[in-house]
Structure 1
Amino acid sequence: MAPSASETSILIPINYTPNTTLPRTFTPLSLFALSFTILNSWGVLSASLPLSLSSGGPSAAIWGLLIVGAGNLCLATSLAEFLSAYPSAGGQYHWVYLTAPPKYARCLAWLTGWVTVFGWIAVAASASLLSSQLVVGLVVPREEGVEVGPLGKFGMYAVMTLVFFAVNVWMSKGLPALNKVGLLASVTGLLVIPVVALTCSWGRWAEPEFVFGGFINETGWPDGIAWLIGFLQAGVALNGFDAVSHVIEEIPNAPAVGPKVMIGSVAMGILTGFYFLVTILFSSGGADEIENIIHSPLGPLMVILYNSTGSHAVATALLVFLFICGSFGGIAITTTSSRMVFAFARDGGLPASHIFEQVHARYDIPFNALCLSAILTGLLGCIFLISSTAFSAISSASVVTLTLSYCLPVITNCAQGRKKLPARVFALPHTLGWIINIVGISYALLTSVLFLLPAQYPITRDTMNYGSVALALVLFLSVASWMTHGRKSYAGSPTLGNRQISDLMNREFEQESAPILRTGDSRNIGYE
């Protein structure tokens, strides 16, 4: 579907050249498939059970999902307004530049861009991490006491990173179709795995008190803090919904389609994740089996599936299916990570940006950006070699950095009375918009501190949360690079001005009768 002339003007900034723009190969369905596959909330929840079971137990997993889900839904709804007004692959840093006070716009956009790029590198690392965790459950011998060491875990992590990279290169033209297959696999797994587990464990279900109220604390932290740290599992499961914005230039009718997909993917993630967690915990065997579930080298999910089915063969088959679903998610995340690197390089935000902004003539993808993303993802996995809590460290780094990037444009807009966005397809009513924005910001700031805490107390070199060290290093590099050359060379996001975009959109919507999702009072819409 060819875009209209006006839409092209909105989506493609005026000084981007043909070799730094991407073809529009995504449809609304394939975009939703990409977003849903990236979140893949039920699959991530199953693979990340270690994050919550020892830090709060089943109650932290269940109620954490709902609480974190509410916070992420507020953030997604807030960002949907920005996406409708400015559908750009740059996403958060573009929006900060366009809504921040002019005096600080370039600096804040630069900082947001660096945080977002690192956030997606960390999300890609989480995808490789979760897939490698599932591999451990499949290949570790059944004998007691047999474990995979740090070097073995890092090796599996590196292999998964290379696989996701290779698929993005040699199957680049088929990525939209691959995302649809991933969506189908995810939905199938969501239906099959819980049904098989519940059916096979009939008569041996855990008590409701255990599923909804079970509490476990093996962290060394006070009970309240341990329970809140257990929410990290839900944070990982609902992380990455901004993927929609980073491929938005590759779909038609973006201002109307993008917000629907962004909000819908988070809502579906909450619903499917809740359904999966409840069913899998009921079939786990309950309090009598929880110690073995937490401490088995096979991983919690493999033990739960074996307890419920009574068959290693069936449990392995179900885990293989889950691994396939997770692999589709890893491929989609690698796609989005490379697009974020590409977008920021295209605006001159990275060292050697002229290299990473190029689109490969043969593959029609930002190949150099994809290579950089894969290399940095591999380096982040080195945490395996120095920390026994690498799982928690990498997960927290991905959640905190992206959550911070989500709230920054919302903060800059709210600081100026929510009046910096032009007329758009999706606009929240005045009062509701304030409520949703404030709840989203409060959630982001609270969890950014909470999830950077070490998973274990007391804090030692081995239990230190090195995700906080990585985040501090990124912030240092972003400030240092800004002071040395960014403040002189970075021009900000080279997009059209607010009123120009608003006029173009209004003309397009009048001509094409684009559907209105929900509009607020036009008197509350301001301009720069």
Structure 2
Amino acid sequence: MAITALPERAKAEQRFSIDDSGSDGKSSAAQKGGTAADEREMDRMGKVQELRRNFKFVGIVGFVTILQATWECTLLANYFGLLNGGTGGVIWCTIAVWALMMCMIASMAEMASMAPTAGGQYHYVSEFAPPSLQKSLSYVVGWCCCLGWICGIPACGLQLAGLVQAMVLLTFPDADVSTLWQTTLLVSAFVLLTVGFNIYFAHHLPLAEGIVLFLHVFAFFAFLLTLWIMAPHASAKQVFFTFNDGGGWGNVGLSCLVGLATPIWCFIGPDAGAHMSEELKDASLQLPRAMIWATFGNGIMGIGMLITFCFCITDLQALLDSDSEYPVINVLYSATHSYAGTVVLGCVLIVLLFFSTVTTIASASRQVWAFSRDCGLPFSTWIRYVPPTWEVPVNALLVCLGVSLILSAINFGSDTAFQAILSVSNAALIFSYIISIGCVRLKRLRGEPLLPRRWSLGRWGGPINDITLAFLFVGFVFSFFPEAPSVGDPNWAADFNWAIVIFAATCLLALLYYVCGGHRQYVAPVSLVKQD
């Protein structure tokens, strides 16, 4: 591990020197539900235990599982994949993405075992990057992590709003509920409710995750049996070998790659558990296991549900030509022939997606809080404050709320806005994965020792890192592709994927802040690490 400059370390220690011993002589980690291993790791990283460790293994498995909500997302966010790829394209791409995501999650899990901190990727980069890049590179990654997680909040809110509108229009076709301002108000309401849950019911979050995990599994079988038994089915040949170039890319393979946004969105966010690691008991061992098991189980259910759903699509073009971008509602109605049955099943999806949004906000707020703890954001002193009686980063949650409301108002919830927000969330998080895993791979190539960890990839670490990086580069590039090519189209702005603009603007803002004084304020996490 690199030794940083002593002046910066002294400055960091002076800024963050807090007495972490209780009045009875016990460490703050022990007082807040941690183990001896948690205490050692927090001490090594130079961090003070401020949050209570309410989560255990089952709770964090539920947290990651509900956040990814893979089988729910295969039903709710499949329009883009069906348009660019068809049923065959979206199925085979989802299977491939799941296998490759398992490699990525294994890489992330190993790093989480080395440094179980809420900072996640930017902390990993600070410790594992070459010494000359530790501070600047971790700073950029920190901003990208914050952007990726906060953008996930309005993306979930837009899905919730769209699902509600689709059910209302199914039952009352003449209802006026789908205008842009109505969508924006619905998104704002869902964001306010989910942030409020994170503030006032944070201590009950592990219990809620356990209950919702049961609903997640139970509802999976309810939907699966409904679609298998009651819906009309297409042939296996039609399902697995129907490819669609609805975007007009002129090549089915390219169209399938453009449609990768759908399967990636269904699995994105495996680092969510890492951002909750300072609230997890025995984090360095339980967190990696939870990340692996949650994604493995989600993949099984997600692919099973996606194949089942695609068997229920007897006319793909008619489904894509319908007014709703949530074809699951039409498919459920075709299966049940009942408005009440469709609405009940739709409400189950709303409950599950609501708690997926709750967990997304929890993870986003911990990322923002951790980054402000290292003075990486403007007004960091205010953002990082944790009320002692609440033991929840309330101010970081309010930042997530404010930024989410602003993002959800872009184009007032238009299709372009949703795709841009979804894409920028994917792209920003993928960028952070590329840099952090790339730093570990570089250390392996140089033969440098890695930190001790209780969950290791062993001799398979290098090949798994290589496969992961190749996949992430492809996913990053295609995150910025629009739904359809618009070269020469006078209305190109309506179809343009504005994710690249949001991503570039955020990077520019981070650069300006860094140059104008952020570099003096930001304390790279490695400067706090105790050297052996």
CA, structure 1 residues 384+140, in 2 after alignment: closer, same or farther (shift >3 Å)? farther
**Letter of the structure 1 residue corresponding to residue 475 of structure 2:** T
Q: Give the Å deviation of 1:345.
A: 0.4
- 1:195 pairs, out of 206, 210, 225, with 225
Task: Encode CA deviations 1:192-219: one digit per residue, 9 max, x unaligned.
Answer: 0110121112xx3111122211222221
Match of 1:492 in 2: 524
Contact conserved, 1:82 with 1:421, CA < 8 A, in 2?
no
Match of 1:523 in 2: none
Distance of 1:368 and 1:35 partners within structure 2: 23
Give the secondary structure class of the aligned counterpart of 2:495: coil
CA, structure 1 residues 34+128, in 2 after alignment: closer, same or farther (shift >3 Å)? same
Q: Which moved more, 1:440-449 or 1:491-500?
A: 491-500
Task: Encode CA deviations 1:454-508: one digit per residue, 9 max, x unaligned.
Answer: 11221511111111111111111111111111222222005764764xxxxxxxx
Give the secondary structure class of the aligned counterpart of 2:390: coil
Distance of 2:411 and 2:87 partners within structure 1: 26
Q: Give the Å deviation of 1:391.
A: 2.5
Match of 1:481 in 2: 513
Match of 1:10 in 2: 41
Match of 1:64 in 2: 93
Q: Give the Å deviation of 1:298.
A: 6.9
Q: How does 1:205-284 map to 2 (within 5 A)?
A: 205-223=233-251, 224-284=253-313
Match of 2:17 in 1: none
* 1:184 is the counterpart of 2:214: yes
Match of 2:55 in 1: 26
Match of 2:361 in 1: 334
Contact conserved, 1:386 with 1:462, CA < 8 A, in 2?
no
Distance of 2:45 and 2:233 partners within structure 1: 60
Match of 1:138 in 2: 167
**Letter of the structure 2 residue corresponding to residue 51 of structure 1:** F
Q: Which moved more, 1:418-427 or 1:62-71?
A: 418-427
Distance of 1:145 and 1:129 partners within structure 2: 19
* 1:466 is the counterpart of 2:498: yes
Distance of 2:39 and 2:287 partners within structure 1: 15
Match of 1:518 in 2: none
Distance of 2:310 and 2:81 partners within structure 1: 12
Match of 2:199 in 1: 169
% same residue: 24
Task: Encode CA deviations 1:130-182: one digit per residue, 9 max, x unaligned.
Answer: 21221121222543797712222222211111111111112122111111122
* 1:443 is the counterpart of 2:471: yes
Q: Which moved more, 1:237-246 or 1:450-459?
A: 450-459
Contact conserved, 2:163 with 2:350, CA < 8 A, in 1?
yes
Contact conserved, 1:10 with 1:496, CA < 8 A, in 2?
no
Give the secondary structure class of the aligned counterpart of 1:453: coil
**Letter of the structure 1 residue corresponding to residue 140 of structure 2:** L
Q: Give the Å deviation of 1:273.
A: 0.5
Alpha-carbon RMSD across the aligned residues, in angstroms, is: 2.0
Give the secondary structure class of the aligned counterpart of 1:330: helix
CA, structure 1 residues 14+311, in 2 after alignment: closer, same or farther (shift >3 Å)? closer
- 2:426 pairs, out of 399, 403, 406, with 399
CA, structure 1 residues 105+158, in 2 after alignment: closer, same or farther (shift >3 Å)? same
Q: Give the Å deviation of 1:390.
A: 2.2
Contact conserved, 2:169 with 2:175, CA < 8 A, in 1?
no
CA, structure 1 residues 14+310, in 2 after alignment: closer, same or farther (shift >3 Å)? closer
**Residue ranges of structure 2 left out of the alignment (5+ in a row):** 1-29
Q: How does 1:81-160 map to 2 (within 5 A)?
A: 81-140=110-169, 142-143=172-173, 148-160=178-190
Distance of 1:453 and 1:403 partners within structure 2: 15
Distance of 2:86 and 2:96 partners within structure 1: 15
Q: Give the Å deviation of 1:421.
A: 1.8
CA, structure 1 residues 292+445, in 2 after alignment: closer, same or farther (shift >3 Å)? closer
Match of 1:512 in 2: none
CA, structure 1 residues 178+245, in 2 after alignment: closer, same or farther (shift >3 Å)? same
* 1:41 is the counterpart of 2:70: yes
Number of equivalences: 493
Distance of 1:16 and 1:85 partners within structure 2: 15
Distance of 2:339 and 2:323 partners within structure 1: 14
Give the secondary structure class of the aligned counterpart of 1:23: coil
**Letter of the structure 2 residue corresponding to residue 395 of structure 1:** L
Match of 2:16 in 1: none
**Residue ranges of structure 1 left out of the alignment (5+ in a row):** 501-528
Contact conserved, 1:359 with 1:365, CA < 8 A, in 2?
yes
